[in-house]
Amino acid sequence: MRRTKEEAEKTRVAILASAERLFLEKGVAHTSLDQIARDAGVTRGAIYWHFQNKAHLFNDMLNQVRLPPEQLIERLCICNQREPLQELYDLFVEALASLGHNEQRLRIFTILLHRCEFTDELREAEERHNAFIELIIELSEKLLASVSDRLQPGVTPRLAALALHGMAVGLFTDWTRNPSLYDPDRDPPLLLDTLFNGLIRDWRSSPLPDCLA
Amino acid sequence: MRRTKEEAEKTRVAILASAERLFLEKGVAHTSLDQIARDAGVTRGAIYWHFQNKAHLFNDMLNQVRLPPEQLIERLCICNQREPLQELYDLFVEALASLGHNEQRLRIFTILLHRCEFTDELREAEERHNAFIELIIELSEKLLASVSDRLQPGVTPRLAALALHGMAVGLFTDWTRNPSLYDPDRDPPLLLDTLFNGLIRDWRSSPLPDCLA
DNA sequence: GCTGTTACATACAGTCTCGATTGTAAATAT
DNA sequence: ATATTTACAATCGAGACTGTATGTAACAGC
């Protein structure tokens, strides 16, 4: 019965894929480990071998798509080489657009936003998630503070950071709720432009330079 | 053992209150009807008497705070008497600010956004929720189309409606995730102003007229 | 070629949960 | 005053789920 290491890795991947499917379809709490195991063609023993429990399985699934904090810090903090505001803008546009281009990201974020409840079972995952969010807000705030002279009158860096993250989360939520509402290529830059126009003075004189004809 | 009608209503309210508490604390799926019954000082029999099942209990809980669609239509559609854009702005500002002033709204929206998973058990509630959201977007789009000459160049009514709702949902999500991030009196108008500045040309020459000194 | 370990499968115990049924005492109708 | 309904309580049965413990066959090292 014992498999070689690469075969074991294949069952691990299969378990993750089945969990993703079933979590999306039935929700995290309403999916049992036995259902996941059956779907993956194994038994619960295999799951308990590869993952400590359901919460860890959930976490490992999330880590497939959540970019590591170091990468985020690198982009938003060490952005001396480029225009900081453009870097911030690009980051959020890319994050949004990725929902339209990477189906696994779409599925996993749908699970995260609509198919799971953060309770003591997933407390650890929730805390990591919250820490990640507050990191984004904090880094955005610092970046915006460094160019505070370009903010619209009455807009503080903190307020701008909250607005920016709020809008991103909301668009993620709405997008995953109903993907057909959005055009993954056209809408992200347009939506972010409108907000940046409200945050940054003279963000863009023309609505779009000439990115798309 | 039989109670009078008003006593029965009191147990119904007690059940709803206990459900609210426990749903918030442990998530909808992870809360059993027996736990709710114990918390309310009754047995499951009382719950099954007043509510058909957990999904209906959940729905009745939501209906305590979700404003009826007619009211929404009345405010956004029959807004001839006032400035339509101001009406739209006020609606979203009020909705946001209510989170800071009505603790029950805060709790129930926290449950809705962070403590429940929309799966076949709650499919009916999900569909109502989606219909409500799409109504908001649709009404906003129509309202914005009626004043399309005031939109910033390159901003379509549909895009503006998506941006507006997206931001609202995101702020609701972030706010319920961590209420300490926001000042319920100061932040909602400021946040909405930044977005409206990006959507509407000459929304406000001064950041705030003189609402607060 | 033997051994220890790996990668699972199987079995077991225990709890939890739901839904249905039945019981019942008091309120209400007549 | 009696009958009926209400507003629950209590019980029952059946299944699902988790975690753990044990079994086991094949691989990897020596």
Q: What is the DSSP letter of A200?
A: B
Rounded Cα distance, B153 and B18, in Å: 51
Tell me the DSSP string of B157-182. HHHHHHHHHHHHHHHHHHHHH-GGG-
pLDDT in tens, A89-114: 999 999 999 999 999 999 999 999 99
Rounded Cα distance, B95 and B182, in Å: 14
Among A203, A91, A190, A89, smallest CA distance to A155 is for A203
Strand partners, B200: B151
What residue ranges define each of the domains in chain A, with the CATH number in brackets?
A: 5-62 (1.10.10.60), 65-199 (1.10.357.10)
Protein residue closest via CA to C1' of C6: A2
Q: How many CB atoms lie within 10 A of CB A2?
A: 5
Residue A172 or B78, more confident: A172
Residues contacting residue A79 through CB under 8 Å, at least 6 positions apart? A87, A88, A143
B87-CA/D20-C1' distance, Å: 61
**Which of A's residues 48-77 have CB atoms within 7 A of nucleic strand D?**
48, 53-54
What was the pLDDT predicted at B122?
85
**Two tokens at A8?**
């074991």
- CB-based contact B195 A195, cutoff 8 Å: yes
pLDDT in tens, B99-144: 999 999 999 999 999 999 988 888 878 888 899 999 999 999 999 9
State the burial class of residue B209 (Cβ atoms within 10 Å of its Cβ: 0-12, 13-18, 19+).
Answer: exposed
Rounded Cα distance, B108 and B24, in Å: 8
User: Which range among A52-56, A144-148, B78-82, B143-147 shows the weakest confidence by mean pLDDT?
Assistant: B78-82
Cβ of B42 under 8 Å from any chain A Cβ?
no
* Strand D proximal to B46 Cβ, under 7 A: yes
Rounded Cα distance, B51 and B40, in Å: 14
What was the pLDDT predicted at B104?
96
Cβ of A109 under 8 Å from any chain B Cβ?
no
A180-A181-A183-A187 Cα dihedral, nearest 10 degrees: -160
**pLDDT surpasses 80 at B81:** no
State the burial class of residue A185 (Cβ atoms within 10 Å of its Cβ: 0-12, 13-18, 19+).
Answer: exposed
Protein residue closest via CA to C1' of D7: B2
pLDDT in tens, A130-172: 999 999 999 999 999 999 999 999 999 999 999 999 999 999 9
B193-CA/D30-C1' distance, Å: 74
Cβ of A8 under 8 Å from any chain B Cβ?
no
**Two tokens at A144?**
């915006």
Q: Which positions in chain A touch B117 (Cβ < 8 Å)?
A: 27-30, 114-117
